[in-house]
Each structure stands twice: as C-alpha cells, then as structure tokens.
Structure 1
Amino acid sequence: MTRQQLSNLTLSLDDSGIYRVALDVPGRPMNVLNASVMAELEQAVNELETRSDVKMVVFKSTKESGFLAGADVEAIEAIESADHADRLMKQGQQLFDRIENLPMPTLAVLHGPCLGGGLELALACDYRVARDNSSTKIGLPEIKLGLIPGWGGTQRLPKLIGLKESLSMILSGKHLSARDATKIGLVDLAIQPDLWRDEIVRVIDSLAGGGSLRRKLPDAASLWRLIERIPAVHRRILSLTQKRLAGKSKHYPALAAAIRAIIDGYDPRADGFATERREFCDLIETPTCRQLLRLFFSRERARNLKTWTPHSLEMIHGDPIRTLGVIGGGAMGAGIAQAAAIRGYGVHVKEVDADAASQCSARIDRLIDDYGRHKKLDADQLRQLRDRIDVGTDFSALEDADCIVEAVVERMGVKQSVLAEAEKAASKSAILATNTSSLSVTEMAGSLSRPAHFAGLHFFNPVHRMELVEVVRGDETSDATIAQLVSFVRALGKTPIVTTDSPGFLVNRILFPYLGEAIMMVREGQSIAAIDREMREFGMPMGPLQLLDHVGLDVALHVARSLGAVMRDVDDVIEVLSPLARRNQIGLKSKRGFYDYHGKKPQPRETAEVVDFIVQPAASERFLADGLSEIQRRLVYLMMAEAIRCEERRVVEHAWAIDLAMVLGTGFALHRGGPLAVVDQIGTQTVLENMERLHSQYGDRFTPPASLQLGAKQ
C-alpha cells in the first residue's frame, strides 16, 4: 500500500492495483471544485498516465455530506472576463478528457450531492455507482445560475443517456435520485445504504478483474436511443426545443446556449467542446447570470443562522424543534403539517370539531398522495409519512409539541383566543407562532403570558411549492425564539427571512401596491388580458390579476383593509374587490374572478363584467426611457418604491433580503434580480424623474421615497 496526502485529496494504491482518489476539501461542509482541487486532480492524472501497475481508479469522497457539490460558485462569481473564463473552462475540459482517456477502468462512487462539475467529473469516468438514499442528488444545475455546464456536460451527457433525458436535465437544472439515474443509464448501479460498503468492494473487485457494470436498458428505451442518433431525428428534436423555448430564451439566454452546444456535439464537422466553452464565456458576462449569481449568494446568506442571530449557538436553549403542533387544518395548516411530516417531524393538528378534523384528514391525505405520486413512493412509505400526522380536536394533544403554529381564520380576536388556549396547554419551553399574513404579531402577543416565546411564521401558499417563510419578530420576541424558528424553517428545506412586525411584513407590503394598481387599471377600463400579458413579458410567472385570482379576492380584500396605514388610495381598491366578494366571484376557488375558470383554460373577463363603473384615466405624461412599457412602468415602479421604503424603515436588517424575498415569495422576474436590482439597472435619476411624472399623473401613491430623492442628488 502506498499513500500520498495532499491538501484536498488522498491518493493511495493498494496491493491489488486499486488506485483511490479520495476527496475531502478542508474547511468546507461539502466538496467543491476550486483551483486547488483541480491542480491536485491534475497531479493525480499525471501520475496515472505513467503507471502500468494500476488496474483501476476509484474517485470517491470521504466526506459524509457527499461526493462533489460542483464548481466553487464564489470562484465563478470572481471570473473577471471572457478570457479568464475560457482559460478555466479549457483547463477543466482538458483534465476531464484526460480522465476519460486513462488506460485503466475508472469508477466514480457517488453519495450525497453530485452536481455540476462533480457530475461532469463522474461522466468522464467509465462507471458510476450511487448510494440509493434521499440525500443522493445527481444533476447539472448550472442553468439556474444563468450558465451551462462548461466541463463537458453538454457533450458527454447526451451521448450517455440520450437526447430526451439530457435535454430535460440540462435545461431544467433538475437533479435525480440514484434510482432514477440508474433507470436512464446515468448511473450503472444504485446500492442500498445497508449494503453500501460490501457492494462497493464487490464492484471494485469485479471491474478490476475485467468485469463490467453495464446494464441493458429496456427494449423501448434502447430503440429510442438508436432513433435519436439519426441526424434528421436529433436535428428535428433540437429545432423544436429551440422554438419552444424561444420566448423564454430572451430573458434566459443560457437555454439557447445549451441547445447550441448540444447541436454542435452531434455535428461531426463541429467542435462541441469549443462551442460549450464559448457559450459559457459569453454567458458569464450577461446581466441574467450576474443577477442569478447574486440571488444564489443571497439565498445562502438567508439560510445561514448567524445572518439573523449572530450569537445563535448561545441563544438556542434545550433541544431543537422535533414535534410540531398546528392549530387549524385548512389549506395552510394542512400544508404546514405535510411539509413538516416530509422532513420527519411528528405533527399534531388541532381542529375545532370532528367534522373539521375529518375534512382536515382528507385534505392531508390528498397532499400526501400527490407528493407520493411525484416522488414515486410505495405504499409503506406513504403510510409511514401519513402516520407522522395526527389530527384531533383536543388542545391537550399539543402539550408535547416543541412548537405550535396557529393557522386559523385571519381575525385578530379569534387568533388571540386560540393562542391563549394553546399557551395553557403547551409546555413552558414551547414556542408559539402565528401564520398570519397581515395582522400585527405584537398586538396578537397581548393575549399571551410569555410573549418572548411568540413570533410570526408566515408560510406562503401552496406551502409545498413556496420556498420562502417570513419569520416575524414582534416587539417582545426574544432572539432565542427567532433562532429556534430560523433553524426550524431551514430544517423544513425552506428559506427564512426575518422581518419586523410592520403592516404586510415584507412581501405583501411590496406586492400589494402592485396588485392594487392592476385593480385600479381595470377600474379605468384597461384590458385584463393586456395587463397580465405585459407583466408576463416583464418576466413574472403570471400577471397580477391572475395572481389575485389564485390568492383569492376575498383574501386580497382582507389584506387591502389591513394595509390602509401604508397604502394610499386603498379605498379605491376595496371599492372594486368588495362587490366581487359579495357576488362570490373571488377567483379560482369560485371559478370566477378576473378570469373565468369554467373551461379548459382560464379566460380573461371583459372589464365591464368585473367593475360596476369605469373611471376616466388621467392624462398621459412623457417618460424617460427605462426599457418598460407604459403598463409595466406603472406597476413595477410601485414595487420599487415600496421596496425602497422597506429598506429605509429597516423592515428587514439586510437590503439584499428584500430582493430575495420578492423572488422566492412572488416569482419576481428572476433575471432582473428583484425590485431594488431593477432600480440599479434603470438608474436612480431616471427612476426618480419618472416617479415624479407618475405622481403628477396619478397622485400621491407615486410619491418618490425620500432615499430615492437623496440618492438621485448624490
């Protein structure tokens, strides 16, 4: 046995000729590919190319956290120019090409994350085995950063698993489980955790002895792979994919870039690796990439406990939250219960009576069944998940809960009464939280004897899809309570943003002026379809009026009434929403709101059907060029203004959290980076002058924030 210890790698050769390259990047929770790691990998390859006594090479990680999380994103952000990017991409491509061409068989042993450059390294190996458990995630997520794989991913993956599956992975950035990766031939063997060590030894012995791991794909899959290789077929598939994504590629150029790299990979006259490298270098300088990188780091900061509670380790007393109580089993309560159960928490849902409990159980069953279908869970796994949730009507069942989340109707008196009852039943160390979207947490705490143990925990609907959770600090909420709740949100796989207890907190406070202005535009007779179309063009996932239908116009009416203190002209919004609510035309759940949902596709209604009378619009002004249409400007400027006011009033401690919250909580156009980022892109002087003209045209709701006026003067 020979052994060499480097900074990031341990290189060893045993007596049977097995050469192991073991990764363990110091000071990192997960392995990443940085300049130091790449240099040491090159050192290992230099040696392997000259050795005749090596029977096979095994690439593995000695970190339990996983194989390789990909390239160091900080190093990507630090790329200074296209030439700098080209050098880095060429270095990686050449190194992985040398690994692919080593004279002995190579095996990548995967567990935990194997993403981006980590998967590209594994693709350069002859074989891949993976641990078959929930922590194993295999994929190429570069598209989510506005980039494409740059170390051969667009070239090797299609050749290995076919065009259909590789397009799906590269263009979505999704990751696969070990089992799913095995089904498509990306991984040669998925190994159960309890057999992991023995099976790895068996596989290595077999491959070193001249064996193979290649699995035969089902006949239909094999036939389709052959058909895909026909030039006319793969050209047609790629052409159709380009056309389908043409609209989205305007905002996300990496989509078109990935397809161009794959096209050249299939063309014998082209150099696909050179195309991949060139496209990556072009993308690194795009505004979309820079905004997506910025949001990536913001998300990392938000998920760091010390961002919100710098002395968090000293603040968390006792055990972490393990058991959850939920009061109210409606859409939000059931969603919170399901999200906690998926992450292994025991949950007790308290309902008002047996009938409500039965409805809650049925609601949770549907959520779990949908999740099971999506994750392909078997009957035993579904039963284990469902058994973690208990639904009843007795407050006493909450006495063992470490945290109790109230999710009842949005009425202050009801919530105060329910929370007071819950506090009596709860243990002295339990945390109480409210899922309110708009009511004052501080006022709610007036009914409690331990207000320091109480805070807001605002989940967004639908809970299973929405990543953001606002953790709302009341006037008397302790730092220890905030630390516990931030840790809990992270454990749920979600991203926390800590806010002060101000009207609408953060997201609703910024979002509602935008939604309210869309309602005002309908009141002026503007087309519902045109308003929503313009905002989809801006990059929003859906227009403001369709979003209101999804939220529920009754909910929007309630929020509007609660935002009177911070939103001008809110009475005009209420004037439109109130008749719709009285007629039970409250959006998707009643099949009619701004849209009609009775057909196969939602149809925008005529303005005259929605509003009782049309208000004459104000005379138009001339505006400075800002890249926005008239409709977009009127809607987006209100979001920008309110985001600036939230920064002025320290609704959150960190300005970057405002943009992140709007992206995660509303789907704000990712490629634009958030409302504050849009201010920077347009320029404060232009934004100020246009806001002053909007103020002249539409009134005080467009009053420029004080700091915008100050910033424009500097």
Structure 2
Amino acid sequence: MNTKQTKSFHVSTDGRGVTTVSLDVPHRPLNVFDDQVMSELDAIVHHLEHHGDCQAVVFRSGKESGFLAGADVKAIADIESPAHATQLIDCGQQLFDRINWLAMPTIAVIHGPCLGGGLEWALACDYRIARDNSSTKIGLPEIKLGLIPGWGGTQRLPRVVGLANALSMILQGKNLSAAEAAKIGLIDLAIDPDRWEDEVACFVTQVLEGEAVSQSGRERSWGQRWLEATPWGRSLIFSATEKKIGSKAAHYPALRSAVKAVRSSYGLRPDGFMTERNEFVNLLATPTCRNLLQLFFARESARDRRTWSSQIGALHEAPIRKVGIIGAGTMGAGIGQLAACNGFDVVLKEMDETAAEAGRKRVVALVETLAKHRKMNDKSRASILDRVQVTTHDDALADADLVIEAVVEIAKVKETVFATLDKCLGSTAILASNTSSLSIARMAEATARPEQVAGLHFFNPVHKMELVEVVRAAGTSDATVARLVGFVRALGKTPVVTADAPGFLVNRVLFPYLGEAVVMVAQGHDVKRLDKAIRRFGMPMGPLELLDQVGLDIALHVAQSLASVLAGVTPVVDQLGLMVNQNMLGKKSGSGFYRYKKGRRDGVANFPRPSKKEGRQNWPVADQDHFVNDGLSLEQRRLIYPMLAESIRCKQEKIVDQAWAIDLAMVLGTGFAPHRGGPLHVVDTIGEHIVHANLTYLQSIYGDRFASPVLLEAMAEQHLLFFEDSEAENNDHAVTH
C-alpha cells in the first residue's frame, strides 16, 4: 500500500487501486476548509488527474467528530474585498469541478456533520454514503449567515435531489439525517452504525465492480419529475417560491439570491457558476450578512466556558451527572426531558402522587413527540425514559449534583424549597432557580451554601428556545458559574451569564417594549396595526401577539416585579390587571388582545380599557417632523426605542458586561430581528446621537419612561459606538478608543 501524509490529509492506495483521502485538520475539533486544506486538496486532485492507475477515490474524515463542518467562518468574515471574495469562490468552484470530472469514480464517505462546503465537496463526487445515526447532519446552512452556497451547491444540488427539494434545503438551511438524505437521493446508502466499516468496504467493492447504482432523485413522483424537467413547470415552482419568501426577502436578501442562483443552474453551466459566485460576493457586503456573522461569533463566544469563568477546572472536579427538578409542570417537565435526552439522570419531585402522575405523563408526551420527530427507535426512546424518575420523596434527591426548582413564582415558596433542599443535599450540590425575575440572592439567604446558589432561567418551550440565562448572585462562586455554563452547553443550549437584578436581562429589556404596546392599545391604538408595524421591522411576531402567547397573567407578574427598576409601569399593570381579572389571559384562555378559536387567532378581542378622564383626541401625539431620521415609523419608534434604551441601561449597570452578549441574548431569547444584529447594533446603525435626540423628544411627549440613559448621552457626546465594526448609516463618526 502506498501512503502519503500532509498536514491535513492522509492519502493511501491499496492493491486494488483504491485511493483513500482522509481529512484530519490539526488543532481543530471539527474539520473545516481553510487555505491550507484547500491548497493540499488541490495538490491531491492534481496527482489524481495525472496518474491513471487509480481505480476509485474515497474521500472521508479521519476525525470521529465528523466529515466536514464547512468553510472557516472566520476566514469568510475576514474577506477584505470583492476581488478577494471572487478569488476564494473561483478557487473552490474550480477545485470541486475538477473532482467532478475525475476519470475514476469518487465516493464521499460521510459521518457526523457534512455541512456547507463539506456537502458541496460531496456533491462533486459520484457517490455519497453516510452513517445512519443522530450525529450525522447533512445540509447547506449558508442562508443562516446571510449567504448562499458558493462552491457549486446551488448548481449541483437541484440535479441530485430535484428542484423542489433543493430549494427547500437551501432556503431553510436545514440539516438532514442520513435516512432523510437517502430518502430524497442525496446519499446513495444510509449505513447502520454497527456495520459501518463493513458496509463502506462492500460499497467500494460494488463501485469497483460496476454494480453500484446512484440513487439521485429517487422517490420523486413521475409528475414531479415532469414538472421539474420542463421550463413551464420549473417556472411555476420558482414563482411559488418567490411568493413564499416575499415578506422576508427585504430583510434577508440571500433568499432572492439563492433562488436566482438555483434558477441559473438550468441554463448554460458557466453562467450558472458565475451567477452563484456574483451573488455570494454581493451578499458579503450586506448589513444582514455582517450582522448574522457577528451573531455567529457571539454564539461561539457564549458557548466558550472561558468567557464566563476562570474556574474551568471545576467542571472536572465536580461534574454534573444527576439533576433534580422540583416541580413537574410545563417548565419542570421540559427541563427534565431535555436533560434526560442529553444523557443526564433526572429526578422530578412533586408534592403529591396526583401531581407526580401528571408530571410523568408530561415527560412521556414530550419524549414521544421528540422520538417521532427524530425517528427514534423504541430502544432509544425507552433509554431516555429510563433515565427519568418522578417521585414525591426528598431522599431521591440526596445524591443529585444539581437541583433546579421550577415551582410557582412566589418568593416565599421558593425560599422554603431552597431551605429544605439545603438540608438534604450533598455538600457539592448546586441549587438553581428557574425564576424569570425573582431575587436569587434572597433564595440563597435561605441556605448555608450561597456560593452554590444561582439562577438557571430557561425559556418556554424549553426544547425549542436556545438561550438559558445563568444568573449570578453576589455570593455565587466562579466554580458554580463554570459548572452551570458547562451544564447548559451539555444540554445543547447557549448560556449568557447575567447579574442578579429584577428581570435579569431578557425580561428587563423586553418588558418596556411590551409595556409600551399595552399602553398604546389602552390609549386606543389599533392592535393589528401595531403588530404589523413590528413584523415589518423584522420581529417574528408583534408585541401583542407575543403577550397573548406568553400569557397576560405572567406578563402582569413580571410588570409588578419590575416596578422598582422601570419607569411608567403603573398604566401597564392597570391594563393587564383589568384583563386578567376578566380571565382574558391570552391564547391559553381563548381571549387576550386577540380572540382564539381552537387554538387559532380569530380576530381582535373586545378587551376592557381603563376609564379615561380626557377624550381620545387629547392623548399626546409625537410629530414625525420633530424626529431626526432613523428609518422608523412612528409606531416602530415608540415601541423599539424603549428596548434600545433598556439594553443600554443593562450595559451601563453591568447586568451583562459584554455588548455582544446583550444582543445575542435578545436575538435568541426573544427573536429580536436577527438581520439587525440585536438592539445595541441597531443603536450603532442609527447612530448614538440620533437615538439620544429622538429619545429626548419622546420623553418630552410621553414622559420619563423614554429618558435617555446616561451612557447613551455620554456616547453621543464623545462619538462612541458599541462595536468597532459598526457601519452606522446615519452616524458619520468613527469609534473613539
């Protein structure tokens, strides 16, 4: 056997003439494409092009972590000019094209992530096979960074899986399992993990003997094939797709670019690749792409334990293996299911057997739903449930490493729970509260271990929401923070560490926005108009829709808890109190700001409003001409500015030290328009001096809830920005160091 080793590749050729090219990028947990990898692969392909004794080529990974996670995102962010971008895209396109035209058959052997450039490499091969387990993820996620595939993905994927499937994968950036990829013909064989190496060897033999059959495009009906094979049929598919993405394309230009590039794949081949390249290069310069790239790096930083604590050793000294949860309601059951699915032993404790049985049913239902979604077999589903114990006895918690309380939001009840747990748990166990706004320090006072008490604020629904606020009280130790950040990472979530203050970060920033919407409808503003204005800004739903989803009773509780730190809360409490007293709790009660019928919205509700002494015509109204131009409408400005101001105050008060973490938390925790980068990026984009001027005018009309933060006033005077790389549209001042 002939072998050759480079820095990133191991190349060997056996007696049959099968060359195996194995990628193992040094000092990386996952394989990624960078300049070195591309250069070495180019040399390997050059050798294959000029040596005719090779009978087949197998491309695979030498890392157990997976095939290839795509291009190095940092390298993409560091692209300096359109010419630089064009050069990089041309390099990748030409390299994969040469692989596509190799004289011998080529096979991509996939396990773990095969994403972005990794899949584009595999698409250039004649055959693709993959290991059929939960770690295998195959997809083109570039759209999530405001980009499109640039190394032939938009050109080759439609030929392999069909137009409709290709558009769905690219526009959603979704990942497929091996089974799902096999179903649409993206891969030719999904292999049972227990027979992995044997089946790979068997498939290679079949290729050598001419017996392997490509599965590209299988399970497409005759009608679908005919539709996609004709210009008229494809035109229908493209028209329907463009209509579907229409409302989002203004904020996410990559959607239209992707459709344009895929459409070009049905013309002359060189023109298609040129269109793909040009669209990619143009997208790199868009604010949406730059903001989404920054959010990507922010997420990476948040998931790095060193960001939040220097006590990384604590993770190894006292690992969390067993998790106790007090309360098996919606949140408790959700946290329990999530922990069990990620390998933790879980004990859910309830007050009595009736509540415990209800908790068991919730957990089973959550696991069944997950198993169906992930296509788990009975053994995997049973394994998760076996890790969950639901009990009414405290002694089942005695050996827990972490206990999370998820009981009613009443401070005295939580303090009693903490005092009881403190006496029955081991000395190294951590106590955490899932409270959304109550003081962690007060709960810690009920224990003899304040250094091991913190908050773990999960968002509902637990399995969907990525953010977890790790709340650090004054007495919480670095070691406790480190252990909890590691735990959150192990759950597949993203942690942001916050100070112990009312509302922590997300609720504190979100509430002024929601509260202003409540005040506005109490004054007679149209419910639908306000929600529509905010969806135009880029939010996934309007503030009143969101309040109905959360529950007005919960919103009322948060409003009351924030009264000590926010101005202008009283009218919000008055309006919400009226509605809660009439059992208008939102979607769960069938009526809130909207009516609901069988879980679906059915028009605006006839909700009560506080009596007013003055007529509607005397309500204060801001004059558009008095604002400095910021690109927002009157409704958007009145709703968004309170959120911007409170984000700045949270930075000012060091609720969270890092500006990027505030933006990330608001995007992950509330859906704040990702293409805008987060509230502090919005401030930079508009310009600090403009936001300050407009807040000052709003304050003169509507009161002190629009007061400009001290930090903003100082930044406006000194021409400072929150982010050095901000490209303020209306701010002509550079960052001052």
TM-score range relative to shorter protein = over 0.9
Partner of 2:388: 389
**1:9–1:21 CA contact under 8 A, matched in 2:** yes
Q: Distance in 1 between matches of 2:318 and 2:206?
A: 46
What do the CA deviations read for 1:599-619 (whole angstroms, capped 9, x no partner)? Answer: 67413425x633133565214
**2:184–2:218 CA contact under 8 A, matched in 1:** no
AA partner of residue 611 (structure 1): R
State whether structure 2 residue 577 is matched by structure 1 residue 578: yes
Q: Cα distance, 1:199 vs. partner?
A: 1.6
Q: Cα distance, 1:362 vs. partner?
A: 1.8
AA partner of residue 158 (structure 1): P
Q: Distance in 2 between matches of 1:547 and 1:219?
A: 40
Q: Distance in 2 between matches of 1:634 and 1:220?
A: 50
Partner of 1:167: 167
Q: Distance in 1 between matches of 2:4 and 2:225?
A: 42
Q: Distance in 2 between matches of 1:71 and 1:267?
A: 27
Partner of 1:52: 52
AA partner of residue 396 (structure 2): A
Q: Cα distance, 1:653 vs. partner?
A: 2.4
What secondary structure does 2:147 align onto?
coil
Q: Which structure 2 residues correspond to residues 572-651 of structure 1 after superposition, within 5 A?
A: 572-598=571-597, 601-605=600-604, 609-614=607-612, 616-621=618-623, 622-651=626-655
Partner of 1:254: 254
State whether structure 2 residue 644 is matched by structure 1 residue 653: no
AA partner of residue 382 (structure 1): R
**1:317–1:480 CA contact under 8 A, matched in 2:** no
Q: Distance in 1 between matches of 2:70 and 2:527?
A: 44
Partner of 1:445: 444
Q: Distance in 2 between matches of 1:310 and 1:219?
A: 53
What secondary structure does 2:128 align onto?
strand
Partner of 2:332: 333
Q: Cα distance, 1:387 vs. partner?
A: 2.4
Q: Cα distance, 1:538 vs. partner?
A: 0.4
What secondary structure does 2:501 align onto?
coil
**1:436–1:456 CA contact under 8 A, matched in 2:** yes
Q: Cα distance, 1:204 vs. partner?
A: 1.8
Q: Distance in 2 between matches of 1:241 and 1:25?
A: 38
Q: Cα distance, 1:126 vs. partner?
A: 0.5
AA partner of residue 665 (structure 2): A
**1:594–1:604 CA contact under 8 A, matched in 2:** no
**2:162–2:228 CA contact under 8 A, matched in 1:** yes
Q: Which structure 2 residues correspond to residues 74-93 of structure 1 after superposition, within 5 A?
A: 74-93=74-93
Match of residue 685, structure 2, among 681, 691, 701: 681
Partner of 1:298: 298
Q: How many residues align?
A: 712
Q: Distance in 2 between matches of 1:632 and 1:229?
A: 46
What do the CA deviations read for 1:101-123 (whole angstroms, capped 9, x no partner)? Answer: 00000011111110000000000
**2:318–2:428 CA contact under 8 A, matched in 1:** no
**1:189–1:213 CA contact under 8 A, matched in 2:** no
Structure 1 457/291 Cα, relative in aligned 2: closer, same or farther at 3 Å? Answer: same
Q: Distance in 2 between matches of 1:668 and 1:635?
A: 13
Bigger Cα displacement from structure 2, 1-10 vs 113-122: 1-10
Q: In angstroms, what is the RMSD of aligned CA positions? A: 1.5
Q: Distance in 2 between matches of 1:137 and 1:613?
A: 57
Partner of 1:713: 717
What do the CA deviations read for 1:457-494 (whole angstroms, capped 9, x no partner)? Answer: 00001101100000000111111111111000000000
Partner of 2:732: none
Q: Cα distance, 1:269 vs. partner?
A: 8.4
Q: Cα distance, 1:12 vs. partner?
A: 2.0
What do the CA deviations read for 1:353-404 (whole angstroms, capped 9, x no partner)? Answer: 1111121122222222222222222333333222222111111111122111
Partner of 1:529: 528
State whether structure 2 residue 516 is matched by structure 1 residue 517: yes
Partner of 2:348: 349
Bigger Cα displacement from structure 2, 295-304 vs 569-578: 569-578
Q: Cα distance, 1:218 vs. partner?
A: 6.1
Partner of 1:671: 675
Bigger Cα displacement from structure 2, 341-350 vs 214-223: 214-223
Structure 1 220/299 Cα, relative in aligned 2: closer, same or farther at 3 Å? Answer: closer
Structure 1 543/216 Cα, relative in aligned 2: closer, same or farther at 3 Å? Answer: closer
**2:663–2:677 CA contact under 8 A, matched in 1:** yes
Identity of aligned residues (%): 54
Partner of 1:456: 455
Q: Cα distance, 1:319 vs. partner?
A: 4.1
What do the CA deviations read for 1:317-345 (whole angstroms, capped 9, x no partner)? Answer: 53421111110011111110111111122
**2:444–2:453 CA contact under 8 A, matched in 1:** yes
Q: Distance in 1 between matches of 2:500 and 2:174?
A: 36
Bigger Cα displacement from structure 2, 204-213 vs 492-501: 204-213
What secondary structure does 2:513 align onto?
helix
What secondary structure does 1:271 align onto?
helix
What secondary structure does 1:505 align onto?
coil
**1:523–1:613 CA contact under 8 A, matched in 2:** no
What secondary structure does 2:431 align onto?
strand
5+ residue gaps in structure 2? 719-737
Q: Cα distance, 1:219 vs. partner?
A: 5.9
**1:264–1:270 CA contact under 8 A, matched in 2:** no
**1:510–1:642 CA contact under 8 A, matched in 2:** yes
What do the CA deviations read for 1:253-280 (whole angstroms, capped 9, x no partner)? Answer: 1011100111111134872111111110
AA partner of residue 628 (structure 1): L
Structure 1 85/695 Cα, relative in aligned 2: closer, same or farther at 3 Å? Answer: same
Structure 1 220/38 Cα, relative in aligned 2: closer, same or farther at 3 Å? Answer: closer
**2:696–2:707 CA contact under 8 A, matched in 1:** yes
**2:310–2:478 CA contact under 8 A, matched in 1:** no
Structure 1 218/185 Cα, relative in aligned 2: closer, same or farther at 3 Å? Answer: closer
Bigger Cα displacement from structure 2, 252-261 vs 82-91: 82-91
Bigger Cα displacement from structure 2, 499-508 vs 354-363: 354-363
AA partner of residue 643 (structure 2): M
What do the CA deviations read for 1:400-447 (whole angstroms, capped 9, x no partner)? Answer: 221110000000100011122122222222111100000000011111
Q: Cα distance, 1:513 vs. partner?
A: 0.6
Q: Cα distance, 1:213 vs. partner?
A: 4.0
Structure 1 54/269 Cα, relative in aligned 2: closer, same or farther at 3 Å? Answer: closer
Q: Distance in 2 between matches of 1:67 and 1:381?
A: 24
State whether structure 2 residue 100 is matched by structure 1 residue 100: yes
AA partner of residue 380 (structure 2): Q
**2:187–2:216 CA contact under 8 A, matched in 1:** no
What secondary structure does 1:232 align onto?
helix
Q: Cα distance, 1:226 vs. partner?
A: 4.0
Structure 1 217/92 Cα, relative in aligned 2: closer, same or farther at 3 Å? Answer: closer
Partner of 2:155: 155
Structure 1 566/604 Cα, relative in aligned 2: closer, same or farther at 3 Å? Answer: farther
State whether structure 2 residue 368 is matched by structure 1 residue 369: yes
AA partner of residue 19 (structure 1): T
**1:19–1:58 CA contact under 8 A, matched in 2:** yes
AA partner of residue 656 (structure 1): W
**2:315–2:486 CA contact under 8 A, matched in 1:** no
Q: Taking structure 2 as the reference length, what is the TM-score of the superposition?
A: 0.94
Q: Distance in 2 between matches of 1:83 and 1:345?
A: 50
Partner of 2:724: none
Q: Distance in 1 between matches of 2:354 and 2:122?
A: 54
**2:435–2:456 CA contact under 8 A, matched in 1:** yes
What secondary structure does 1:312 align onto?
coil
Q: Distance in 2 between matches of 1:222 and 1:392?
A: 55
